[in-house]
Structure 1
Amino acid sequence: MRQIVPPHWKKKIRHWMLDLDARIDSTLFSSGKGARELYERFSTFMDRFYVGRWKRWVIIEPLSEAATIGLVGLILMLALAVPAFRETADDDWLKKSDLAVSFLDRYGNPIGNRGIKHNDSIPLEDFPDHLIKATLATEDRRFYDHFGIDLAGTGRALMTNAQAGGVRQGGSSITQQLAKNLFLNNERTIERKVKEAFLAIWLETRLTKNEILKLYLDRAYMGGGTFGVDGAAHFYFNKSARDVTLAESAMLAGLFKAPTKYAPHINLPAARARANIVLDNLVDASFMTEGQVFGARRNPAMAVDRRDENSPNYYLDWAFEEMRRLVATFPKSYTERVFVVRTSIDMTVQRAAEATVENQLRQFGRDYHATQAAVAVADFDGGVRAMVGGRDYGASQFNRAVDAMRQPGSSFKPYVYATALMNGYKPTSIVVDGPVCIGNWCPQNYSHSYSGPMTLTQAITRSVNVIPVKLSIALGGKSPNPAKAGRVKITEMTRKFGIKAPLPDTPSMPIGSDEVSVLEHAVAYATFPNRGKAPIPHAVLEVRTGSGDLVWRFDRDGKKQTQAIPASVAADMSEMMSHVVSEGTARRAIIDGIPTAGKTGTTNAYRDAWFVGFTGNFTCAVWYGNDDYSPTNRMTGGSLPAQTWREVMVAAHQGVEIKEVPGIGMGQKRPPTPQAAAAMAAGTPKIIDTKPGPPPILTKRGADILVRVEKMLDEAIKTAGKTSSSEPPKPLRPLSSSSVAFPDSFAAAAPGQAAATAPPRKN
């Protein structure tokens, strides 16, 4: 057999690969041998420095561990410092200030201010010596001795707090507090404290101690919407910080810790008690003697009484946050920080809402075991006309209308029914009220019984729990998990309505177990009377600079409404919900002459009670409950919430042209009275018994006239009473058209005189 000789090129490749393999093997062997020799040489060299016995464990090992820990700590500190130093990226951080916003109501009347109210033009040397000493003695006694972080003060604070079992003493230096004020927020997290420490050291390297103290005195929040001691001195004492007394300085220095808690215009006794602690600090720090502070103890500061300045504070806080977000959308080249903002608030409605909540809680709160309430009133553009975030802003600044998330109960069901109508159901569709279970969860009706077949209108009127759950299952169709698929559709629908709350997917979601806010709930309901268009809640209507230049306007630059559901579905939902008021669970919300619709809501253990409803003009949500989630005394949405809603909405419709609600018109026909039924049976002309028309509107001029008439009658009666018994009393002179003019609401105008009526307020 002839031997096959491989081609020449294959032979070369084989030799090249063998050569490469040999070279790799040789290199690895040489490298290993060299590494061993190098290691042996290094070991021989290091053996010269070997330390054994006690010297190793006492000196060498601790130093080695310290070096290792120090290196790791340095790397960790650098990693933590990077996010902190990013906060200083703005080159204009020292000059940059917060917004200063003056708010107007929808008619252009001033209602309050938010943002910076400070004056940084006063040099440090012009501040009274006792004001600076009071600040240092209370906030940072070793301010001029530390490098930005007072390690001794922090350790002392930790010991004090550990012994007291709670936070009794703060450990932050003035520099740390300034870093927080300039760059960070007030959230209580470890991340914020770490950033604060790095930024404090950073500030100490760039500013002198006096510059840091001056900035702190100018930028610290002092309560009442004021920043800096000079702004606070003007607000609380009507004087410059240059002129404050020792007692007033002590009260101002006491505000740094908790300006809201110790604000003298809110809680003067607490402010004076805190000022007395500041005086103790002055003596303990050896800045003053007991004799020097004795006069301030005997004659404490008296703040200006500002209780009559009844600003809508919950509303202003929310509007200011909206303004912050709005300014963030302006071009970066825009440097203006002072604005005048016209809002959508109607102070007539606002005061009525505040007074109604206070009156209801004062009269019925104890019986129902309810301590808090929230109200939001809005128009169909989404402009919020009134907002009550709690019973007392001075006692708690937490806005329950915006920030509190509470279970809506049955007031969530309209979103479920709207989803059903969007998927082929009709208000007259028949559903069966009967047992249903999802897994091991079986919903129960309020009556713990079932009513059998009924229409969707009847189901929402009677607030049946089983029906929305059955609808959620039916909406899922033929999917493997129809209940879950149906809830997904319901969630998508609520998003279209404007609800941004998380809404976790739970079997009980269709009957209102997920949490929403009062404001979002109120404005979402406006979609029904707004022909299916979902408005966006807002406070700002117009933004101008301090010089009057127009910057932004909602109708021109704001977000536009979206069509959430067809107008026909919205009309059907309004008609269905009108039965809840006329014959269902919310009959206390009936307003004669004004078409009304809505839905009550009551959660488990009566923790939350709601009524959310609308007319042709406004939408409104009312919530009652307790901050600690404790149950009320069987309060339902048809009780205090519906009653409050009615009183607020009556005030909101004063002087307003009443509009019809699509799907309802101007109201439903009432059942004929027995007299009308008898007349119809007798063949008399048909009598239509409907709800009476809107109540007569009493204009301001008409009210003034009635007051004048009352005074004149009182004076006439007094004059008649003083007449001698022997002298017959003089007859009263009749009122002529020249002495008083009645508006056309009461009588025709006198000849030659215009009717005294005021034009209705526009929506």
Structure 2
Amino acid sequence: MGQIWEGFLRGADAFGGWIIARKNRLLKIAVWVVGIVTIPLLGLFLLPTILAVVAPPLDLKQDLYALNRPVAFTFLDAHGKVVGRRGAAVGDRLTLEEMPAYLPAAFIAMEDRRFYSHHGVDPRGIVRAMMANLRARHTVAGGSTITEQTAKILFTNQERTFTRRIKTEMDAAVLEKSLSKKQILELYLNRIYLGSAAYGVDGAARVYFGKSARELSLGEAAMLATLTRAPSVFSPRRDLAAAQERAGVVLATMVETGAITQAQADEAKAHPAVVVDRASVDARNYYLDAAREEALKLASNNGERQLSGDLIVHTTLEPKLQEAARRTAREVIEGKAAKKANVHEAAIVTMKPDGAVVAMIGGVDYAESTFNRAIQAHRQPGSAFKPFVYLAALESGLSPWETRDDQPVYIDGWAPTNFGGRAYGTITLANAMAHSVNTIAVQVAQEVGVDQVVEAAKRCGIASKLAPNASIALGTSEVTPLELTSAYAVFASGGLKVRPYMVTQVNGADGRILYQRQNREPERVIAEHVMKDLTAMLFGVVSHGTGFSANLYDREAGGKTGTTQDYHDAWFVGFTTDYVTGVWVGNDDSSPMKGVTGGTIPAQMWKSVMKVAEAGLPPKGLDRSPPEDALGLDQSLLSSGTGLSADDEAAINNTPQIDAPQDQRQDKAKRKTTGGFFNWLFGGDEEKPKTAPPPGDN
């Protein structure tokens, strides 16, 4: 029994020793854990004090409102009036006293409640952000103070690395050491990016609410405060209801911080902020985006000069025509008929014959899509490419008035057909162009050589890659609306080389001229006699061909329709002696439209824009060669009010007008009472004919 008891005591002693040893190890682990957690926390809370000691003073001679900001542009139109801005100089520099008190309070409530009590770095905020991220298992909070955010704007970028974070904290300490809280907050509110190309609260207030930040309501101030972290995602232009809901969160937070009362918050929620309609202003952004890139290239001398500060850019923009293009695109594409026809996008370019781009619409809604279809979208031009086929033909010695037979064409298993399967028999090249006869265009391209067609198009300014195959005669190689319009400007200029341009002069903030356009001696790229023949052919398209819907009646115009296979794209590009305009309609996903041809919607849109462009200008005739024998022309083409058969005119008249403006509906009525093409051209009254060749591929 004693031995048993002794054994038990020895066992108990051993177990007790094991417990003590285990306890020591646990204690050591606990000490290590406490040390690992405490030392960094201690260092974190001591960091502001350390940084305040080692941070160097800030060079206050530099302009902190311009430091490391994007080059700021002020754009002037063709008449010298301000039409837009880009960069940080969107709004005025405001002091806190010029702002309503609740505006800075809204940003403080959302971004940095302890702004006035910390020294640039807020340890509590960092810990709070860490805990929030751990709970969410992903980054939901950054813990950056307003001072740190200001430091990022001024001195660094938005990179998220440990090294960058340490540098930002040092820069924040520099700001706190050299500036007052008031100065830091003013810098922040005047430099923060809030989306839609708006920098600073005043710029954002003008963009979203059409007013200065001085006049913002409480609800509007709260909405701006929601835009600091993801301005494009949270933009009220994308989802106003969601933006108003987020503004409600800001208001509740402001109540918590004591910035406003509950009654004020309730009043603001009862009258939520709404954004202004900036459709007219935003539509200019397609033009200004392109002008900005051009100005940067020209003013920097293709990168050889470093640009900084503010730039004043003189452009060729004509606001009246820009607005006409915007209104036409918006009204037509958003109309019921266009939606029924599955037409969702458009691009319009208007320029002068020397290449000065006076209007550009790259899409129906810039706020929805900044993709500039006028210069970035490559689409097949269809029959709008045929003028280059006939240009090559004329240069090879053919005449517009010689004839060709419309007969089947077979090239390596490919057999092009005419629009609607129509047959034309024997007709002149001029009529083949006017009615867009595919078979004859392909025949002519084969006759003169596809390489010659490509060369003619390149000479006129088509820069996109052109595949030298048989189908190029029907416009199967893709081009942009800008380059096709500028190529037609060569026709409008009488055969002179045209380089499209938007910028005439760039000045620095101090008035220095960094770039000034020099007028060069124009280079002739098409012989005069050839150009007159081609102009006569393009005139026929509008006067009695597939482009008759673009007829301006009181002045001559030339142009060409274009429709691609299965109605993926539809074009009309045309000119007078004063302006050249190109119109494209289609869908971004290349889905087919329903029966939309170049002679319908695009021609109607072209006419709507060009009527505004020509308003007040004296009518001028095109410099074109006359028909070889005017009286010997097909009488069915000369005696009709439209140059179309009754069936074809009915087809055009019954084509959905795509909610065309009232002046076009009046033109339609005018068309039915006019004395006819013969009367318009030569004078006198002619009876309406019974038949006429039908239009070809529109």
TM-score under structure 2 length normalisation: 0.66
1:135 paired residue number: 111
Contact 2:151 2:172 in 1 (8 A): no
Q: Which residue of 2 aligns with 1:599?
A: 560
Mark the CA change 1:587 to 1:152 in structure 2 (over 3 Å): closer, same or farther: farther
SS, match of residue 468 in structure 1: helix
Give the aligned residue type for 1:113.
Answer: R
* Contact kept? 1:533, 1:565, Cα under 8 Å: yes
- Pair 547,469 (structure 1): closer, same or farther in 2 beyond 3 Å: same
Q: Residue 349 of structure 2 contacts residue 482 of structure 2 at CA under 8 Å; is this kept in 1?
A: yes
Q: 1:313 deviation in Å?
A: 3.3
One-letter identity of the residue aligned with 1:511: L
> 1-side partners of 2:461 and 2:150: how far apart?
39
Cα offset, 1:302, TM superposition: 5.6
Q: Please name the residue that 2:532 is paired with.
A: 571
1:638 equivalent in structure 2 = 599
Q: How large is the RMSD of aligned CA atoms in angstroms?
A: 4.8
| Residue 299 (str. 1) matches residue 268 (str. 2) | yes
CA distance in structure 2 between the aligned counterparts of 1:199 and 1:92, rounded to whole angstroms: 26
The C-alpha deviation readout for 1:448-501, integer Å capped at 9, x for no partner, is 25545543223212212233333443444xxxxxxxxx2x44333323222233
1:208 maps to 2:180: no
1:591 aligned partner, one-letter code: L
CA distance 1:273–1:397, change in 2 (3 Å)? farther
- Residue 351 of structure 2 is matched in structure 1 by 378
Structure 1 match to 2:77: 105
Residue deviations 1:494-523 (CA, integer Å, cap 9, x gap): 232222334456653331222222222212
Match of 2:412 among 436, 439, 445: 439
Alpha-carbon distance in structure 2 between the residues aligned to 1:472 and 1:370: 32
Match of 1:496 in 2: 459
Whether the 8 Å contact between 2:380 and 2:569 is mirrored in structure 1 is yes
Distance (whole Å) between structure 2 residues aligned to residue 396 and residue 525 of structure 1: 27
Q: Which residue of 2 aligns with 1:753?
A: none
The reply on whether 1:653 has 2:614 as its aligned counterpart is: yes
Secondary structure of the equivalent of 1:628? Answer: coil
Q: Secondary structure at the match of 1:534?
A: coil
- Alignment match of 2:487 (pick from 507, 510, 524): 524
Q: Return the offset for 1:651.
A: 1.7
Shift of 1:673: 6.3
Q: 1:251 aligns with which of 223, 238, 243?
A: 223
Equivalent residue letter for 1:378: M
Higher relative contact order (CA 8 A, sep 6+): 2
Mind listing any 5+ residue stretches in structure 1 that lack a counterpart?
1-90, 161-168, 185-192, 477-485, 675-687, 694-763
Q: Could you tell me which of 319, 333, 344 is aligned with 1:347?
A: 319
CA pair 639-402 structure 1, distance change in 2 beyond 3 A: same
Cα gap change, 1:275/1:304 in structure 2, threshold over 3 Å: closer, same or farther? closer
SS at match of 1:581: helix
- The verdict on how the C-alpha distance between 1:244 and 1:612 changes in structure 2, with shifts beyond 3 A counting, is closer
Q: Matched residues in 2 for 1:220 and 1:576: separation? A: 57
Change in Cα spacing, 1:341 to 1:572, as seen in structure 2 (3 Å) is same
Instruction: Using the aligned pairs only, state the percent identity.
Output: 34
Using the alignment, how far apart are the partners of 1:408 and 1:182 within structure 2?
48
User: How do 1:644-683 residues align onto structure 2 when only pairs under 5 Å count?
Assistant: 644-663=605-624
Q: Quick check: 1:236–1:303 contact (8 Å CA) kept in 2?
A: no
Structure of larger gyration radius: 1
Structure 2 counterpart of 1:321, from 276, 289, 293:
293
- Does residue 420 in structure 1 map to residue 393 in structure 2? yes
CA contact (8 A) 1:265 1:307 kept: no
Deviations along 1:641-697, one digit per CA (max 9) or x if unpaired, are 11221222122111223333222589x9996769xxxxxxxxxxxxx944489xxxx
- Number of residue equivalences: 553
Q: Is 2:223–2:273's contact at 8 Å kept on the other side of the alignment? A: no
CA 1:209 to 1:472, structure 2 compared with 1: closer, same or farther past 3 Å? farther
2:470 & 2:230 partners in 1: Cα distance?
Answer: 44
**Alpha-carbon distance between aligned partners in 1 of 2:401 and 2:93, rounded to the nearest angstrom:** 68
Specify every segment of 5 or more residues in structure 2 that has no aligned partner in the other structure, as ranges: 1-61, 114-119, 177-183, 641-677, 684-698
Residue type of the alignment partner of 1:397: T
Alpha-carbon distance between aligned partners in 2 of 1:381 and 1:121, rounded to the nearest angstrom: 43
Map 1:525-540; keep pairs closer than 5 Å.
Answer: 525-540=488-503
> What residue number does 2:24 align with?
none
Q: How has the CA–CA distance of structure 1 residues 512 and 620 changed in structure 2, closer, same or farther, with 3 Å as cutoff?
A: same
Within 2, Cα distance between the matches of 1:369 and 1:340? 41
For residues 613 and 242 of structure 1, do their structure 2 counterparts lie closer, same or farther at Cα, with a shift above 3 Å needed? Answer: closer
